[in-house]
Structures are given as structure tokens and as C-alpha cells.
Amino acid sequence: MSEPEKATKAIIDDNLERCLAGLTKERIKKSIDKVLKGEAGARLKSYVETCVHCGLCSEACHIYLSRDKDPAVSPAGKVKRTIWEMIRKDGDVSPEFIKEASIIASTECNACKRCVMYCPFGIDVGYLMLTVRRICHLCGMTPMYIQDTAHSHAVTMNQMWVKEDEWIDTLQWQEEEAQAEMPDLRIPLDKEGSEIMYSVIGPEPKFLAHLLYNMAFIFNSIDADWTMPSTPGWDNSDMAMYTCDNEIMGRVKREHFDTAARLKVKRIVMGECGHAFRSVYDMGNRWLSWKMPPIPIVHAIDYYAEIIKAGKLKIKEKYKKKVTLHDPCNVIRGGGLAEKARYVVNFLCEDFVEMIPNREHNYCCNAGGGVINCGPPFKNKRVVENRVKAEQLKATGAEVLISPCHNCHSGLEDINEHYKLGMEIKFISEIIYEVMEKPESE
Amino acid sequence: MHSLYNFVSGPLAWIAFLVFIGGSLYKVYTLITLTYQKESFIFTYMSFKYGLRSIGRWLTPFGTGNMKENPVMTVVTFAFHLCLFITPIFLLAHIILWDESFNISWWSLPEQIADIFTLVVIAGCVYFLYRRLTIPTVKYLTSPSDFGLLAIVAAPFITGFLAYHQVFDYQLMMILHVVSGELMLVAIPFTRLSHMIYSAFTRAYIGSEFGGVRHVKDW
């Protein structure tokens, strides 16, 4: 048995099993009709009727390549196993089929849209897989861990069940910590009329608090006019977007934009996260009927490039180790920040080597798109189904892997460990913090 | 036999062209109204500049990464599609028919060239068939209708070639040629051959979104 087969065998997801037991064919038919005949429109129609089954999308997919070109996981193969079948049978499919469709759409596609660049017609398989997730969501057939995250969004407006007092406490804790290094450092809360509202994702206060420290340090050292909200709305992440619980996604995004509006900030700078960028720049704003975000969104990469260009960010000396850069799909293929990311990394680091392919053609981390959020049951599958990523990383010979995205970061950690690559994985802010001029060095 | 030929090249031809043109217009109309009804945001993202940039790039041989990765497919598919369009439109025998019926005519292909182009189309179909049968990923995606579509496209060219070279019964071959050509025209709006109509729209949209919103190339 090959490694991917072993990893996918005996996956048990409690929510999928529970749903399987109670799902009726009526509910399936109703859900499929609601989405395929009701919500979806010209894109679904033209994509389904245009696809000539040529298979040219296949080579784009990291899972297809990692599973030794298994036809079933080529982008079009995944559409065949889900939407084509639902259409062919006019929604008359079994609960087992919906469970399988959920696993395909939620854990075998990251909606990274690399295949869109390979299809001669520009068919967006990422969109089609999210359409499948929407149907599964309406059936209640969503993997347990990501469903829990969506619940957290619905209840707390953040991803990690962080309570309001815990949030404020964490910020004040990091403020105090950082004051040991920079005595007048502040993390200004709810400062109305600031230029910048800085927003992060739930995992930062939960278990990556040092990233808040780093950013506070950067903002303070360049005298930025910034603030963070003390209220819900501080979290820019959105896993409801990936369970395709669009109604919750809309609520979460509205809270985030409303918070920025209440604080009367000029723009929102967001931390190094990819899916959160997608949710505020691409999907959430559209759901709320804004073509572009109502308040300008600046991704951290963009912000770093800006303060470097303005000469505000000063470094003692360049980072010495050999680094390579992972281009996260949502900010590179989704936001065009490839050159800015290189500008920043070249400014900070002495020895930068590109991985191949790179920029918008980079291989996906296989964690994004909500896949890593499907949790432990799917972890082994996720890692072995991205062997090409490990090979791509290894070929760079770099010691340090820079990944300016949370999901990529966590997924790459798992790949690093499984394939024994021995790389150190860092956010850009960690490198900045390491090389920047600090008060004591002045 | 003769009256059958007159029927297929007369009234049936009218019907085929009407269905092809009417059907194509209907497909475009329904696509646009559907977009208005359900995804009107698409119009706000549509950009002439990026839509045309994308279409232009994907009409350029070896213009995209995927075309470079699949050189044989690229050469075959470009040659196939070009010959598929050029041959019937600029074939002398076809132009003569237009001239006889409507008194209009235009430049025609030298006959030997048209003969070669016809073979290119047939060879293209054979290659696509070969791909469908031998490449596991393509085979996996293939449904019986895909073979049907290949047959629909290949038939007018095979019968035309045989008729021109007067292999088998000429009159029968001509009738088969005309009927299969009409079948292809009628099939375009109502099968996946409709990619001829839709592809400009799907490309223009994804080109607009990638260029205008995502600030990135879509090839």
C-alpha cells in the first residue's frame, strides 16, 4: 500500500459519521437543488458546460502530483466525483456520497486556484469545490474541527473561542513584556481616529502571542499611528468562509469592517495571514456587496514594503542565514504581492534563494483553504499528499523558510517534520524583529 | 439519391444554420441574463483590458506555462482548431455553393492546402482519441459523450475528404458529408462543443478577476 493510501485509510471524523447516520435523501436533494439550481448561476453553468474533459488542469495540483498523478484527485477529477455526479443524478445521491464529497472538497482541495491558471478556459475549480462545500454545509456534512471553528466565529466573532477579557489581557500582557525592551511601548486600544487599525487572526492571542509583541515593537519603533480594537471585530480570520457558511462569514466580516468604521481609522493593516486576506479582500466583502473592501486593507507584506520604502524601518544588519520564500496563494495569486514580498525579503536578508516554481505558480502548502482546520483526523493525509512541496523546499538548500501566512506556516511545519527537512520556518515579522534597530543598540 | 441530396443541402442546411446561429445567440442570451439574475457582481469585475489580455495570451501558441509544459498538445490543438475553422470557410467547393445560392464569394484555399488542412483536423481527432484512451487522467475524465463529440467533429472532415477523392460512392459520400456537417453545426450550441461560445466569456471573466482584482497573471 502506498503512503498516501495508508494515510487516507481509517480516517474517522466524528461529525461526518454523526451526520451520515441521520442524513436523509430529501435533505440532500433539497440542499443540492438550493445550491446548484438556486444560488449558483452563470459561472457554474458555463464551467460545467465548457469543460471538455481534457485533463490539462491536472499538473497544476500539488495533491495530484504528490499522489503520483492519481486521476481521481486531478482538479477535474474532483469535479467529476462531486458536481458532475450531482448534476447527472439530479441531486439523487446517497448520504455516503455526500460524506465522500465533503472529504474531497474540504480536504483534497485548498481552493488555491493554481489550476485556474492551467485551464485553457479559465475554469475556476476552487470555486466549484467551495460550491460542493456549500452543499455539504447545508447537509450538515462538514468535518468536525473546522465546524467547531465556524461555531466559534458565530458565537464569539473570533476563530478560537477567545473571550473578550482574555483578548484584552493578552494584549496588555504582551505590552508589558515588550516594555522591558522598549519602556514607552504601547498597544493602544480603541484609539479613535488612528490612521491604522491592526487586526490579527484568533490563533495569535491564543498561542502565538509573540507575533503581537513583534508587531507592537515594529509599530512603536516607527511611531505609527495605530490602534487595536478591544471589542469583537479584532479577528480578521474566517473559517466560516471555508465551510461555506456564507451567512456567518458575512456577519464576521461586517463586525470587522464595522469595528474599523467605529474607530474611524483610515485603513486596516492585517497580520501575516492569507485566508484572512481572502476573506476581507475577495469573498467576505463580495458577500456584503462591496466590490472592494469598504475600508482599505493592507496586508502585512504590503505594509512592510511601505515602511521600508519610506525609510522608516531601519535594520542593524541583514539576516545572515540562507532563506527561501513561500508564496501563499491568497496574497500572491489572490493579491499580487509577489514582488513586494521579494522587495521586503531582499531588504532584510543577505542570502535569498527562490524555490521553483515560485510567485503565482508556487505549489500550495496543502494546509490552506481550511484543510488544516479539518484537524487531526486528516493530518497525515494532508502531509503525505504534499510530497511535491517537500521536494520543492529541499531543492532550495535553504536553512530558513519564510512563510508570510499562518495556515501555510502550520502546514509547512508539519511537512518539515514529516519529511525531515530540518528547516526553520519564520514569519517576516520574526526576521524583522531579529534584525531591526532596537533601542538598546542605539 | 439526387432528391435526397437536394433536401439535405437545401432545407436541412437552412435548418442547421438557423439552429446553430439561433442556438448560439440563445446560449449567450441565457448566460448573460443568468449573470444578471444571480451573479451581477461579475459585470462590475469585467474589464476590457484584462479580459482581452487573457484571451490574447491564451490564443498565442506557447504563450502560457501550461502550453510550454505540453508542447505536443499545444501544437496539435492549435493546428486542429485553426484548420477546423479555416478549411470549411475557405474551401473552394463551399464558396461555389455560396456563390451559386447567394451570389457571394471570397478568397479560397488552394485545393491541395485544403486537403492537407482536412487531414490535420482528422489527425487532431485521432490524437485526441489516443489521449483519451491512453493517458490515465484523461481517460478517467472521459465519458461516452466525449467519443461522440469527437465523432461529430471528425465526420464532416472524413466524409469530405473521401468525397473529394471520390472514394466509395460519391453521391452517398456527399450526402453523408452534408448531413454530418449540419449535425456538427447543430451540436455546437447544445453540447460541450459550446466551449466555442463560452470560452471567450469564461476567459474574459477570469482574466478580469486575476488582472483587475488579484493583480496577477492568469497563465
A356 at the B interface (CB within 8 A)? no
* Arithmetic mean of pLDDT, A279-287: 95
Residue A200 forms part of a structural domain: yes
Alpha-carbon gap, residue B108 to A370, rounded angstroms: 57
Residue A131 forms part of a structural domain: yes
Report the residue of B140, B192, B193 to disrupt the A interface, i.e. the one with the largest count of A CBs within 10 Å. B140
Distance from CA of A284 to the nearest CA of B (A): 13
Q: Check whether A5 has a pLDDT greater than 70.
A: no
* Arithmetic mean of pLDDT, B129-158: 97
Q: Which domain holds residue B155?
A: 2-21+64-213
Report the residue of B64, B152, B202 to disrupt the A interface, i.e. the one with the largest count of A CBs within 10 Å. B202
Does B192 contact A52 at a Cβ distance shorter than 8 Å?
A: yes
Query: Could you tell me if A366 and A386 are in contact, meaning their C-beta atoms sit under 8 angstroms apart?
Result: yes
Query: Could you tell me if A170 and A212 are in contact, meaning their C-beta atoms sit under 8 angstroms apart?
Result: yes
Does A121 contact B35 at a Cβ distance shorter than 8 Å?
A: no
This model of the complex carries an ipTM of 0.95
Dump pLDDT digits (tens) for A183-220. 999 999 999 999 999 999 999 999 999 999 999 999 99
pLDDT score for A350: 97
Does B218 contact A122 at a Cβ distance shorter than 8 Å?
A: yes
Dump pLDDT digits (tens) for A329-365. 999 999 999 999 999 999 999 999 999 999 999 999 9
Residues of A in contact with B217 (CB under 8 A): 117, 360
Q: Check whether A1 has a pLDDT greater than 70.
A: no
In percent, how much of chain B has pLDDT > 90? 95
* Arithmetic mean of pLDDT, A30-47: 95
Confidence of residue A439 (pLDDT cuts 50, 70, 90): confident
Q: Which residue has 455539504 as its cell numbers?
A: A136
Query: Could you tell me if B124 and B76 are in contact, meaning their C-beta atoms sit under 8 angstroms apart?
Result: yes
What is the layout of strands, in order, in the sheet containing A319-325?
A349-353, A319-325, A400-402, A424-426
Q: Where are the alpha helices (DSSP H) in B10-135?
A: 11-38, 41-45, 48-58, 65-69, 71-90, 92-102, 111-134
Residue A311 forms part of a structural domain: no
* Shortest CA distance from A127: residue in chain B: B206
Residue B32 forms part of a structural domain: no
Torsion of CA B186, B130, A53, A113, to 10 degrees: -140
On whether both A104 and A250 belong to a single domain, the answer is no
In percent, how much of chain A has pLDDT > 90? 96
C-alpha grid cell for residue A104? Answer: 474531497
Give chain A's mean pLDDT.
96
* CA distance to A367, B5, B9, B17, B171, per residue, from B2 (Å): 68, 5, 11, 22, 8
Residues of B in contact with A80 (CB under 8 A): 140-141
Residue B219 forms part of a structural domain: no
**Residue (of A124, A104, A135) closest to A33 by Cα position:** A135
On whether both A231 and A354 belong to a single domain, the answer is no
pLDDT score for A4: 63
Size of interface A-B (CB pairs under 8 A): 132
Which element (helix H / strand E) includes A409? helix A406-418
Q: Which of B38, B70, B199 sits opposite A56 (nearest CB)?
A: B70
On whether both A137 and A155 belong to a single domain, the answer is no
The number of domains in chain A is 3
pLDDT score for A442: 45
Q: Which domain holds residue A386?
A: 316-441
Distance from CA of A122 to the nearest CA of B (A): 5
On whether both A413 and A337 belong to a single domain, the answer is yes
Q: Which of B65, B131, B138 sits opposite A361 (nearest CB)?
A: B65
Q: Check whether B2 has a pLDDT greater than 90.
A: no
Q: Check which CATH number belongs to the domain holding A367 and give it.
A: 3.40.50
The number of domains in chain B is 1
On whether both A38 and A187 belong to a single domain, the answer is no
The pTM assigned to this predicted structure is 0.95
Residue B95 forms part of a structural domain: yes
Dump pLDDT digits (tens) for B44-77. 999 999 999 999 999 999 999 999 999 999 999 9
Q: Check whether A44 has a pLDDT greater than 90.
A: yes
pLDDT score for A22: 94
Residue A263 forms part of a structural domain: yes
Query: Could you tell me if A336 and B214 are in contact, meaning their C-beta atoms sit under 8 angstroms apart?
Result: yes
Domain boundary among the residues A142, A165, A188 is at: A142
Query: Could you tell me if A46 and B201 are in contact, meaning their C-beta atoms sit under 8 angstroms apart?
Result: yes
Q: Which of B54, B141, B216 sits opposite A76 (nearest CB)?
A: B141
Confidence of residue A311 (pLDDT cuts 50, 70, 90): very high
Dump pLDDT digits (tens) for A371-416. 999 999 999 999 999 999 999 999 999 999 999 999 999 999 999 9
Domain boundary among the residues A142, A163, A180 is at: A142
Left (φ > 0), alpha (ψ -120 to 50) or beta: where does A375 sit?
left
Domain boundary among the residues A117, A142, A167 is at: A142
Q: Check which CATH number belongs to the domain holding B200 and give it.
A: 1.20.950.20
* CA distance to A203, A252, A272, B69, B125, per residue, from A230 (Å): 16, 16, 20, 51, 65
B67 vs A2 pLDDT, higher one: B67
Dump pLDDT digits (tens) for B80-92. 999 999 999 999 9
